[in-house]
Structure 1
Amino acid sequence: MGPIFLTIFISMIGFGIVIPVLPVYAKSAPFKLGPTELGWLVGIFSLVQLFSGPIIGKISDRVGRKPVLLVSIIGTAIGYFITGGASAAWMLFLGRIIDGGSGGNIATAQACIADVTPPEQRSRAMGQIGAAFGLGFILGPAIGGLLSLYSPSLPFYFAGALSVLNAVLVWVRLPETLTEEKRLHPKEASPLGEVFAEGRGRFIGLLLAATLLSTTGFAFIHLLFALFCQDHLHYDMRHTSYAFAYVGFIAVLVQGGLLRRLPMDRIEKPVAALGAVLLAISLYLLPRADTTGAFLWVTALMALGNGLLVPTLTGMASRHVHGRAQGRVLGLNASAGALGRFLGPALAALPLPAAFSDWDRPLAPDVLAIANHSYIVAFSASAGIMVVAFLIILAMKPLDFKTPGEDTGVATA
């Protein structure tokens, strides 16, 4: 678990560096992207992952996790370097497309966890890995905010260098978790339909729908959070990054502490439903938070909800298939999340006025009123999407069976 935790932690530091900076970076000179273009830029990474995720998952079921993880991390580094060195909008999109096309590192690392964890402990294990997400989101945004004070492109170069370091650590320290006897062999069929076999179809289908909708609703913040902090709360990039770090800190407490102490194999569905409810409430309240105190309370609620929901859904998906299908089910789950992370920013951009990127900051009072109305419309829509995800979770009926062939032994490197 240690090397996998470290791999995800470093990946999320890089991701955390980029996410708060990217929308502000791209709407500024020399790019000056409008709202629709910003939505596509933030989401294109995940749109590409939608198609690459199942392919990467199937490859990892055949050849093992380590080589797939290594290649994906190297691709991430290349994408960051291109984004940092961009001088035109098409280069920004190219960097994000390369990153997304090779970006199977998180889903593959989750498959590593599933390889070495008994089914009944997977939601708890995914929660521990969620703590790596949170720790990365504490350090990443803080680092990105500080680096952006020196150069707008420096955070991307730093994230690329971290990815190179991560690739070296994977090569040297990570053992292969998928033993030879559990792999799919080249002549052996590996249909995605195997994931839905043995009565799992309805449950897995609803779970993927819940992942898609909950991720779509939450992904509104990928585009809007930094912009909202800048316009509504008058934060600079450094303070916006600290806000992201605060959300990451709460996520660590939830996923690394609370989930580890809960009997997740018996209460997965209620925990996921509670997470969806908390997210719906917090997303609705966020644009209505007019003070720093209110903002901190709402974002804490949002981090709590996300910390309960995401690892629980991932653990439920993994627990209901046998070992050789882990890559495929987690690849499908990653693709559902990827589609949501594309749709979220694209939908979030719709209420923003066409002249949004041309406004002078700080906003004049009359322009600020227009911006605030746009944020209220967007975040209310994201809360509504989360309510639908909650209803789908309520309709899920987790299956009560032990998945076959679960040997959690790990081959040594």
Structure 2
Amino acid sequence: MRRSALLTVCLAVFVDMLGFGIILPLLPFHTQDLGGTGIWVGALLTSYAAAQFVAAPVLGSLSDRFGRRPVLITALLGSAISLALTGVAGTLATLLLARVVAGAFGGAIAIGQAYVSDFTVGKARTQALGMIGASIGMGFVFGPAIGALLADLGFAGVSFVAAGVALANAILGYFLLPRTTPAAAGAPARRGGGNPLTALRHALGNATLRPLLLVIFAFTFAFVGMEATFALLGAERFGLDARALGLVFAGIGIMMAIVQGGLVGRLSGSFGNRKVAIAGALLLAAGLVILPFVSPWVGYPALGLLAVGQGLLTTTTSALIAEEGGAELGGAFGVSQSASALARALGPLAAGALYDVKIPLPYLLGAALALLAAALLVSRRRGGTAPATPAETGQPATAS
């Protein structure tokens, strides 16, 4: 039953990311068609991250109180609505509204992470969270590729296809997602639980969660800074055109999926999540330091270091969050997704500004942040206060 539940949740997250990724290749061009400039493209991407920053802790906390299944299905339906709204958007303001709606319902990742954590513990939990990460990565690999293939349908047509995929995902989830009740379901809401800023402040006040949230912010900021500027660096230093850049990013996504889907669970079982996370941070830092100074033949291995480091970090920090989340596991994952969303909103802006000053600067800043993440992980001590989950006690999650 647990394996079936895991595969179902992974499928739901994969298809959700697939639908989101389908429209990405065409979004900047549609923005230009509506009269938008580069700042509008940036605003559309930032609005999604900003809305996710606000909404993710709320959705996560709701899944603690009412169960993962209904909240995840609601998030999947919200994705379908946002994609349909994107398809009919005839003005920049409407398109911006669609991206805000998409971000507001973009909590499927946090809920999916909490979902699989309800069924697993220890090495099995890290492997399950790695599969969630691999599902996300593969959704972003295949989504843009499908969007490019469907480009002849026009932006509206591609958006409606993506909306149909998202709606089918929600319907499939309704029939296949297992009914579980997390430990906090039905419990009174924590004071300020509906306020994402209060939830974030509460998490930052937790001595065991705070360093993990800072680690997540730091390495995500570092990685998205590379994502935001590598197209420029790749064209200038490596002579890559748009097609080659697409292949490079697809390769990064596939490598991360391989790491998260298989390698990280084995390493975690042998060395523990914290040590593997430290190794991931060091690999990420090394790749960022090397990348802006070398030829393509050295640059591609550096990108490999980046991909492996990011894959190790993403999964193991999620597993460490699960260790400390306790009965409010959904809320903890929601706040961690907020930390990631904040980094995704700020990272590209800072990296772009630094790149204009001197090309290596965003990469060196990213490396410094990755080293900061490693230092925080080295100094971190597990609080050991998180209540046992049903999986840890050997008891199955109860039916809702």
The TM-score bracket by the shorter chain reads: 0.7 to 0.9
- Residue from 29, 46, 51 that aligns with 1:48: 51
- Residue from 136, 139, 144 that aligns with 1:141: 144
- Pairing of 1:68-217 with structure 2 (within 5 A): 68-119=71-122, 121-148=124-151, 151=154, 155-178=158-181, 182-185=183-186, 187=188, 189=190, 201-217=206-222
Q: Which amino acid aligns with 2:291?
A: L
- Check conservation: 1:8, 1:109, Cα contact below 8 A: yes
Over 3 Å counting, the alpha-carbon distance change for 1:14 and 1:266 in structure 2 is same
Over 3 Å counting, the alpha-carbon distance change for 1:256 and 1:120 in structure 2 is closer
Query: Is 1:286 the equivalent of 2:291?
Result: yes
- Check conservation: 1:278, 1:302, Cα contact below 8 A: yes
- Residue from 264, 274, 297 that aligns with 1:259: 264
> Counterpart in 2 of 1:319?
323
> Counterpart in 1 of 2:29?
25
How many percent identity over aligned positions? Answer: 29
Query: Is 1:387 the equivalent of 2:374?
Result: no
- Check conservation: 2:130, 2:264, Cα contact below 8 A: yes
Over 3 Å counting, the alpha-carbon distance change for 1:267 and 1:186 in structure 2 is closer
- Residue from 10, 14, 22 that aligns with 2:19: 14
- Residue from 280, 296, 299 that aligns with 2:300: 296
Question: 1 CA distance for matches of 2:367 and 2:23?
Answer: 25
1:58 Cα deviation (Å)? 1.3
* SS of residue matched to 2:353: coil
1:130 Cα deviation (Å)? 1.8
Over 3 Å counting, the alpha-carbon distance change for 1:246 and 1:283 in structure 2 is same
* SS of residue matched to 1:246: helix
Q: Deviations over 1:83-141 (max 9, x none)?
A: 34444432332221110111111111111011111255322321122221232233223
Question: 2 CA distance for matches of 1:114 and 1:256?
Answer: 16
Q: Deviations over 1:130-155 (max 9, x none)?
A: 22123223322322333346645655
Give the TM-score normalised by structure 1.
Answer: 0.82
Question: 2 CA distance for matches of 1:73 and 1:279?
Answer: 32
- Residue from 251, 264, 282 that aligns with 1:246: 251
Question: 2 CA distance for matches of 1:299 and 1:27?
Answer: 30
* SS of residue matched to 2:311: helix
Over 3 Å counting, the alpha-carbon distance change for 1:196 and 1:39 in structure 2 is closer
Query: Is 1:58 the equivalent of 2:61?
Result: yes
Question: 1 CA distance for matches of 2:313 and 2:160?
Answer: 32
Q: Deviations over 1:164-222 (max 9, x none)?
A: 1211111111112325xx3432646467699999xx93221111111111112212245
Question: 2 CA distance for matches of 1:159 and 1:301?
Answer: 32
Question: 2 CA distance for matches of 1:229 and 1:145?
Answer: 21
Over 3 Å counting, the alpha-carbon distance change for 1:279 and 1:17 in structure 2 is farther
Task: Please tell me the root mean square deviation across aligned C-alpha atoms, in Å.
Answer: 3.2
Question: 2 CA distance for matches of 1:227 and 1:146?
Answer: 24
Question: 2 CA distance for matches of 1:236 and 1:81?
Answer: 32
Give the TM-score normalised by structure 2.
Answer: 0.84
Contiguous gaps of at least 5 residues in structure 1: 354-372
Q: Deviations over 1:347-405 (max 9, x none)?
A: 2332466xxxxxxxxxxxxxxxxxxx755333333333223222222221224577335
Question: 2 CA distance for matches of 1:74 and 1:342?
Answer: 24
Over 3 Å counting, the alpha-carbon distance change for 1:229 and 1:37 in structure 2 is farther
* SS of residue matched to 1:202: coil
